[in-house]
Amino acid sequence: MWDKWVAWRATRTATASAQRALADFKRLQADHPDLKDRPLYELFVRQRNGIEAAAAQSILHRAENSFALWPEGRTLIFRDIVQYLVISEYRDAHPNHAAGEPDLACVVSPLIPSDL
């Protein structure tokens, strides 16, 4: 029973976080039509996490390594960043649940368009 509760809560939290990220990203796109791809992603991460450029670049690099370069071998997309952020934040908040956590990338993936 406990595992089902943990999985339900993780899925619900990941869904809400991904939906907020998408809404924030779309507002950022509208506010900065001159920015695209990595510069826009960096701005999103900086604003979302309240961090400096170097820290945001580090997050983008880790997201790229985790979801774009392996296993896909493609360029970084917004979905990769959201998946990385959601999973990292969940694991930081619940270090004892990592072994039994649901596949949060599968939760986030259908919520974030692949063309962003």
pLDDT recorded at residue 101: 67
> Among 34, 29, 57, 43, which Cα is nearest to 116's?
29
Pick the closest to residue 14 from 88, 98, 96 (CA basis).
Answer: 88
The full set of domain ranges for the chain reads 2-111
97 Cβ contact list (under 8 Å, min separation 6): 6, 10, 90
pTM, two decimal places? 0.89
Which of 23-27, 68-72, 88-92 is most confident? 23-27
Of 58, 60, 66, nearest in space to 105 by CA: 66
pLDDT digits (tens, 9 = 90+) for 75-109: 999 999 999 999 999 888 877 765 566 789 989 99
Task: State the average pLDDT over residues 9-29.
Answer: 95
pLDDT of residue 10: 85
